Structure 1
Amino acid sequence: MVTYGNMGRNWVPFVGSRELGGSLLALYKYNANATNFWMTVPYNSVDATYEVISSSGIRSRLDLTLKDIGTMVVEADFSLSCSFPTKMIDCFTNGTMAALAVKVESVPSLSPSQLTLRDQSCRPLQSDAINAVFYFNVNSCGTTRRFDNNLLTYENEVLFTSYRLRVACHYLVNDTKVVQFLYQNYPAPVVQPGLGDLAVIMRLALGMTWQFK
């Protein structure tokens, strides 16, 4: 939410590098009254900036600039940063791993499609301007493993020049699970009546015996 204060209304708001107008007004649910305007911007919007990522979440920042409506000189600017718990790594029981890598402010020239794992032939399963998703087997793509008592850890890295994101999955070597088992007695099979044609052949003989087939 932005309060106009003593600045009047002779300015144009910019979200990130884009002017807040046109389709962005509806996209960010822009509203205004005589004293304020407010909007809602998703943390993963292209107009937000990823500051820091970790295995447990993302810190995203929104930059807002107010520019003079005639000269486009910046009259005011401010930022808002928030941390969001985000699942960056998935470890599956079938021995596969999934990892989400995102473009961060410290590597502005990065295109997520350029990211690889330790084995550079392992590239993203899908990517866009901000994110890259990797899906791979723990026995591939340069993944290493180590044992620590009863814990087996598989590790890899998402890499590109100065970009490095550690990816790790932990599995219990000896794990016991209790599973509930239920059963029920099914009744004996029953022949169900049906509909159809029955062919009957009758043969006549000279004696007193009737034969049916």
Structure 2
Amino acid sequence: MPRKRAAGYDNQRETIVEQAAALFARNGFVGTSMNEVALACGLSKASLYHYFADKHQLLMHICEDHIDRLCALVDEVAQQDLAPEPRLRLLVQRFVEEYRDAQNEHRVLTEDVRFLEPGDQKRILNGERKVVKAVADAMSAVRPELDRSRMAKPLAMLLFGMINWMFMWLKPDGELTHERMAVVVSDLLFGGIGAVGLDGAGKKKR
């Protein structure tokens, strides 16, 4: 019979994940020890191992949880059955909001996933592919000829390029908010999407 978890187990586990993500984001996965994670959580190292077997399992949990939230976000937007433009704008808004609240996790996913075992990397990559495909499909719904030219995915990657590293320069207490920048990203996207050349040469001026 499995041993029952103590009250507060899940809360403590979440605290560990949050503290580890902050340390990995600041010092890198290799540059962070389990001792440092335990110290940040106010736990002994033995207590920390009660929640996570090793540092790689902790890294996997951070990456997988972040990807799961992004996939859930994609599913929630899809269920709203919106017209093409509102759908894409809502996806942008939700991604920007999610990154605002998960900057450490996103940085860990971007920079440290390479330290996972190949099988775990594949699971994370499959989640990332689902997210990118959802955005590519949303773009194709706005401009159907993107599918024929195979430009939907590259444009989706360019969009992520705009928002993925926003945390590097957008200050939490600055004049520009994430909500405002989500609108700016969408406006920039829709203002320029019709001008993207499908043959790689750019749209010719009339």
What range describes the TM-score normalised by the shorter chain of this pair?
under 0.3
Please report the TM-score for the alignment, with normalisation by the length of structure 1.
Answer: 0.21
Higher share in strand: 1
Q: Computing the radius of gyration over CA atoms, which structure comes out larger, 1 or 2?
A: 1
